[in-house]
């Protein structure tokens, strides 16, 4: 049974769901899964495929949160598809910072690589000059405001690259909801999100900012803690999520694992389920996991069937990030739990 904030009777019928569900996409340029972090000439034809997701909202009741990169806001055709999703499917338009392709760009970023070469992984955000990172964040938010006619208040950092030292910038620029944390991950030369919880929490260093991690939970909490203590600093530290974790991510996992992740999360008291994928993963050939149209069709079917299963079997409410943030003060989310890491 699903209750959406957009249903006609939602204002009249008091209702407390067992589970709130956020369905989000990182809406971005193509080519990233090939390891090419280009700053210019980025294709965004995958954005047109968002319209295929309309039944997730209009039939099943799950509104989408679209975390959009600057490359998308800079493309008029892509913006027309965003507007359609907003106006016809109540999608939230949110911000997704790819700092390497967001102005102001430096000389290296503006220079195309030599034939046969790629723009390699970008500088980690905590190593960028703080004022440069702030300027790029403002460029993204200004583009979003121009498109939307209102400020964007929900955010996800590209490559999950949000360290604690960078996070205060978000609150300073008006962000009230962040989803840049991926639990059970220790990113190579990047942030440590391993010990982050799967449910939202309030941040001590930015009190107005609600952190809502994507859902990824350990099969065994004890094994996860042991792994974090023993593996951190090794080249295989980030391997745990391949074998010791469950999530509802439709690209990473099978339908059976997605359902098992939901059951285990709820059994442990989880109140928010957050699943995501990339818009480019809907494009045949857009990622190694989606080599052709058959695979793209199978991904859509998996997502639709999973959300239909949720709606049939549980008392759930589909929410956008902004809707969850609006409800958060009344939901008794706690402060950030104790634990080391960049979350």
* Residue 182 structural domain: 19-330
pLDDT of residue 5: 41
Whether 337 is in a domain gets the answer no
- Residue-averaged pLDDT of the chain: 92
Against a cut of 0.85, is the pTM above it? yes
**Strand 206-211 and strand 201-203: pairing?**
antiparallel
- What mean pLDDT comes out for the span 314-326? 98
CA-CA distance, 11 to 9, in Å (whole number)? 5
Structure tokens at 334: 């706690």
pLDDT of residue 106: 82
CA 189 and chain centroid, separation: 20
Sole residue written with tokens 């549980």: 314
Residue 120 pLDDT exceeds 90: no
Peptide bond into 104 cis (omega under 30): yes
pLDDT of residue 111: 67
Q: In the structure, how many helices (H) and strands (E) does the chain have?
A: 11, 11
Sole residue written with tokens 């703080």: 130
pLDDT of residue 115: 63
Contact call for residues 215 and 274 (beta carbons, < 8 A): yes
- The CATH number of the domain holding residue 149 is 3.20.20.370
pLDDT of residue 73: 98
- Cα 342–129–174 angle (5° rounding)? 65
pLDDT of residue 326: 98
Contact call for residues 262 and 23 (beta carbons, < 8 A): no
Whether 342 is in a domain gets the answer no
Give residue-wise pLDDT tens across range 212-234.
Answer: 999 999 999 999 999 999 998 89
Whether 343 is in a domain gets the answer no
Based on the structure, what is the number of domains in the chain?
A: 1
Whether 76 is in a domain gets the answer yes
Contact call for residues 323 and 57 (beta carbons, < 8 A): no
Position 8 confidence tier, pLDDT thresholds 50, 70, 90: very low
Whether 130 is in a domain gets the answer yes
pLDDT of residue 15: 64
pLDDT of residue 56: 98
Residue 3 pLDDT exceeds 50: no
Give residue-wise pLDDT tens across range 45-93.
Answer: 999 999 999 999 999 999 999 999 999 999 999 999 999 999 999 999 9
């Amino acid at each position: 049974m699903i209750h959406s904030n957009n249903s006609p009777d939602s204002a009249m019928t008091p209702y407390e769901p067992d589970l709130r569900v956020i369905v989000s996409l990182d809406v971005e340029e193509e080519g990233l899964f090939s390891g090419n972090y280009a700053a210019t000439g980025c294709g965004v034809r995958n954005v047109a495929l968002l319209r295929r997701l309309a039944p997730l909202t209009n039939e099943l009741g799950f509104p989408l949160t679209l975390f959009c990169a600057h490359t998308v806001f800079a493309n008029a055709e892509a913006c027309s598809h965003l507007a359609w999703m907003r106006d016809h499917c109540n999608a939230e338009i949110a911000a997704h910072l790819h700092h390497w392709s967001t102005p102001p760009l430096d000389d290296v970023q503006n220079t195309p690589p030599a034939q046969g070469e790629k723009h390699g992984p970008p500088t980690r955000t905590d190593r960028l000059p703080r004022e440069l990172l702030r300027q790029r964040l403002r460029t993204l938010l200004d583009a979003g405001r121009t498109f939307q006619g209102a400020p964007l208040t929900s955010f996800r950092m590209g490559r999950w690259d949000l360290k604690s030292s960078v996070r205060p910038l978000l609150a300073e620029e008006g962000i009230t909801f962040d989803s840049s944390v991926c639990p059970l991950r220790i990113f190579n030369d990047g942030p440590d999100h391993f010990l982050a919880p799967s449910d939202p929490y309030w941040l001590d260093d930015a009190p107005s900012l609600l952190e809502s991690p994507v859902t990824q939970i350990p099969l065994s909490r004890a094994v996860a803690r042991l792994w974090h203590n023993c593996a951190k600093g090794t080249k295989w530290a980030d391997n745990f999520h391949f074998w010791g974790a469950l999530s509802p991510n439709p690209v990473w996992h099978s339908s059976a694992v997605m359902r098992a992740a939901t059951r285990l999360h709820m059994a442990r008291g989880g109140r928010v389920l957050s699943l995501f994928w990339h818009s480019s993963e809907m494009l045949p050939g857009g990622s190694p996991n989606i080599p052709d149209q058959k695979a793209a069709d199978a991904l859509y079917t998996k997502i639709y069937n999973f959300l239909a299963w949720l709606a049939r079997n549980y008392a759930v409410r589909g929410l956008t990030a902004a809707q969850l943030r609006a409800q958060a003060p009344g939901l008794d989310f706690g402060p950030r739990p104790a634990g080391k890491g960049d979350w």
